[in-house]
Amino acid sequence: MITEQQVYFFKTFGYLVLKNMLTPDELKKIQDEFSVGLAKMDESKMGASVRKQYNWTNLGPNSPFTASLLEDERFYGVAQQIYGNDCVGVDSHANQYNGDRSPWHPDIREPGPDQFNGFKFTFYLAPVDGNSGALRVVPGSHRPWFSAEVEKVFLKDNNPGPDDDPGLAVNEVPAHICVSEPGDAVIFDYFVWHSSWGGSRDRRMVSLQYYKNPKTPEEEEGMRQMVAFRKNFNKGFKRETKLYPDFWLANPNNNVVRAQWIEQLQKWGFIDAVNA
C-alpha cells in the first residue's frame, strides 16, 4: 500500500517510483520467464521504430508467475487506492528494447483523461539511469493543458521543426529521470509525457496495467474508444499469439478478482477486439 501523500504525488506529477517492490527470488522468476518469451521473438516481430521493441503478453502459460503479479495485492492494492476498489487489471506485457532512445510521447492522447484513466507499473530488469535508458517524465504533463503545451514543442524524433531548427533531442527536454534498480516499480499515468535516453540493446521491462472502471456516459464512451485504440496498437507488433490467451481466460485457480476482470474486459469488448 502507498501513503496518502504518495497518492497525491502520483495524481500531481503523473508518476511515482516505489522502491524494492520485488524480492531477488521473484526477480529471478520474472527474468527466467522473460527469457522464454524473448526466445520466441524474431526481427519480423520488432516494432516501434527507433525503440526497436519486442512486446508480448505475460498472460500465457510460459509466464505464470509474471501473470500472477496483476492480481498481487502489492500492485492491485495500489491500483485500488488510485482508481477505486472496482478498478480492473487489464494486461501484463514484457518488452525488450534495442534502440538507444524512446521518443517523447504519452501512451494515449484520445480519449482524454476526462473520459478515461489508466496507468502502468513498469519493472526494469536491470539498473537504469539517465544515460542507460531510465524512464524520463515531464512531471505533471498528464494534465490536458500541459500536454497541449508540450505538443507545441518541436521534438527531433516525432515532431520535428524546420531544417534550421529541428527541435529538441530526447535528452534536451527538461525532465525528471526515474532512476531504478531491479525490484523497483515506476508507475506512470498513460497521459504523462515520457521517454528514455541512452538505453543499450537488450533493455528489459515488464509492465502491469490497470484501468479505472467507467462510471459516467463520457467514461463509457472513453472505454469504447480505448477498445479501438488497443486493437490498432496491437497491429504494430505483428503478434502471433492472443493478447488474452486461453490459459489466462480459463482462470484455472478460480481467482475471484480475475473472474471479475474477465467479465469486465468481455463486457467492454477488449477480448474480442485484441484477440481477433
Partner 1 sequence: MLTEQQITFFNTFGFIILRKVFSDEELAIMDDEFETSLKIIQRERPDNEAPKHFNWSNLGPETPFLSLLPEDPRICETAEQLFSEYAVAVSSNSNRRVGDTDWHTDQSHPHSYGLKFAAYLQPLNSDNGAFRVIPGSHKQPFNDTLKHIEMDSPEMTVPYYSCDSAPGDIIIFNFATWHSSCGGSSDRRMCTIDFYKNPETPEEVEGTYDQVIVDEKVYAKIRASGSAFHPHWLANPQNSPRRQRWIDWLRKYGFVKSEAA
Least distance (Å) between residue 161 CB and partner 1: 6
Strand 194-197, strand 135-137: pairing: antiparallel
For every residue of 190-212, DSSP letters joined together read TTS-EEEES--SSEEEEEEEEEP
**CB-based contacts of 216, cutoff 8 Å, min separation 6:** none
Least distance (Å) between residue 198 CB and partner 1: 17
The contact pattern for partner 1, residues 131-160, with x = CB under 8 A and - = no contact, is ------xxxxx-x-xx--xx-xxx------
Least distance (Å) between residue 209 CB and partner 1: 22
Pick 177 or 227: Cβ nearer partner 1: 177
Pick 120 or 204: Cβ nearer partner 1: 120
For every residue of 22-91, DSSP letters joined together read S-HHHHHHHHHHHHHHHHT--GGG-BSGGG-EEEEES-STT-HHHHHGGG-HHHHHHHHHHH-TT-EEEE
Which of 4, 19, 174, 276 is the binder for partner 1 (CB under 8 A)? 174
| Helix, strand, or coil (residue 180) | strand
Pick 47 or 139: Cβ nearer partner 1: 139
Three cell numbers written together for 212: 479505472
Pick 121 or 188: Cβ nearer partner 1: 188
Q: Which stretch binds partner 1 (CB under 8 A): 8-16, 40-48, 79-87, 218-226?
A: 8-16
Residue 33 one-letter amino acid:
E
Longest dimension (CA), the chain: 61
Q: Which stretch binds partner 1 (CB under 8 A): 7-15, 50-58, 65-73, 237-245?
A: 7-15
Binding site for partner 1 (CB under 8 A): 5-6, 8-9, 12-13, 15, 137-141, 143, 145-146, 149-150, 152-154, 161, 165, 167-168, 174-176
